[in-house]
Amino acid sequence: MKQELAQDIALMRYSMISPLIVGLPDEYRSKEAYFRAASARGALHPNGSFIHPAPTSIKRWYQHYQKNG
């Protein structure tokens, strides 16, 4: 994977978890609810396609960020 693509994917993932980094938004009762909503909302992948990652994937990205920054 090219470095630029890897960085673009990391930024896409960060954009999906960034609301949780500053604190759970008020409209969500739990992080799990946020993960489900973020999955339903989806994101634009760097390759140009619109994706809907699984809530468990978004949770994993968030946990990885919490552990490793």
Quote the mean pLDDT of the chain.
Answer: 96
Proportion of the chain above pLDDT 70, given as a percent: 99
Query: How do the domains of the chain map onto residue ranges?
Result: 1-68
Model confidence band, residue 1 (pLDDT cutoffs 50, 70, 90): low
15-37 pLDDT per residue, tens = 999 999 999 999 999 999 999 99
With 0-12 / 13-18 / 19 or more C-beta atoms within 10 angstroms meaning exposed / middle / buried, residue 8 is middle
